[in-house]
Amino acid sequence: VYEWLVSKNLGSELLSLSGAPPATLRTYLSAAARQAPAPASLHLLDLLWKVLEKAGDSLAAAHVLEGLATKPGTGATLAQRMSWVSAG
């Protein structure tokens, strides 16, 4: 289900669900981001930090944001990196 939602650009719908996101969503996003090519992994990691933040795991969300902002070779724009640095 998660893969289908993300592939249809409906990942943000997962954030709109009430309550804390399930641990299986965090596990899926982490694993999928590791296996995906750069543009897709950026999208998955961007969704992951938001899921972690919603779940109350601010430290883990900050680690993901740091990785997004500083990892070389991802194709992320300066504007994207700046938004990740200032997020959270």
Name the DSSP letter for residue 55.
Answer: T
* Burial tier of 3 (Cβ tally within 10 Å: 0-12, 13-18, 19+): exposed
Highest mean pLDDT among 7-16, 25-34, 71-80: 25-34
26 near 51, Cβ under 8 Å?
Answer: yes
Q: Would you kindly state where each structural domain of the chain is located, as residue ranges? A: 2-86
In the prediction, which pLDDT does 61 show? 94
Question: Could you report the per-residue pLDDT of 28-64, keeping only the tens digit for each?
Answer: 999 999 999 888 899 999 999 999 999 999 999 999 9
What b/e string do you get for 66-88 counting C-beta neighbours within 10 Å, with b at 16 or more? eebbeeeebebeeeeeeebeebe
Q: Which residues contact 52 (CB under 8 A, 6 or more apart)?
A: 26, 58, 60, 61, 64
Q: What CATH number matches the domain at 2-86, 2.40.50, 2.40.240, 1.20.120, 1.25.40?
A: 1.25.40
**What local confidence, expressed as pLDDT, does residue 45 receive?**
92
